[in-house]
A and B are shown apart, each in its own frame.
Chain A
Amino acid sequence: MNHYETVFILNPVLSEDQIKETVKKYEDILVSKGAKMISKENWGLKKLAYAIQHKKSGFYHMFEFTVEGDAINEMEVAFRRDERVMRYLTVALDKHAIAWAEKRRNRNKKSA
Chain B
Amino acid sequence: MGRIQDQAKGKKDGEIRYLTPLNIETSKTKKYCMFKKSGIKYVDYKDPDFLLRFINEQGKILPRRLTGTSLKYQRKVAVAVKRARHLALMPYVADLLK
A residues with CB within 8 A of B: 7, 9, 48-50, 52, 58, 60, 62, 87, 89, 91, 94, 96-97, 99-100, 104
Binding site for A on B (CB under 8 A): 41-42, 44-46, 48, 83, 85-94
Determine if B41 and A58 form an interchain contact, defined as CB atoms under 8 angstroms apart.
Answer: no
Count of chain A to chain B residue pairs whose CB atoms are closer than 8 Å in the complex: 38
Chain A residues closer than 8 Å to B87, beta-carbon distance: 7, 9, 60, 87, 89
The prevalent SS among residues of A at the interface is strand
Q: Is the CB of A52 within 8 A of B88?
A: yes
Whole-angstrom CA separation of A58 from B86 in the bound complex:
13
Main secondary structure of the interface of B (DSSP, over half): loop
Q: How far is the CA of A48 from the CA of B41 in the complex (A)?
A: 28
Q: A89-B83, A91-B83 given as contacts; is B88 within 8 A of A96 (CB)?
A: no
Q: Are A99 and B42 CB-contacts (below 8 A) given A89-B83, A91-B83?
A: yes
Give CA–CA (A89, B44) in the complex, Å. Answer: 13
Q: Is the CB–CB distance between A96 and B41 below 8 Å? A: yes
Bound complex: CA of A96 vs CA of B46, how far in Å?
A: 15
Given A100-B41, A100-B44, A49 contacting B88 (CB threshold 8 A)? yes
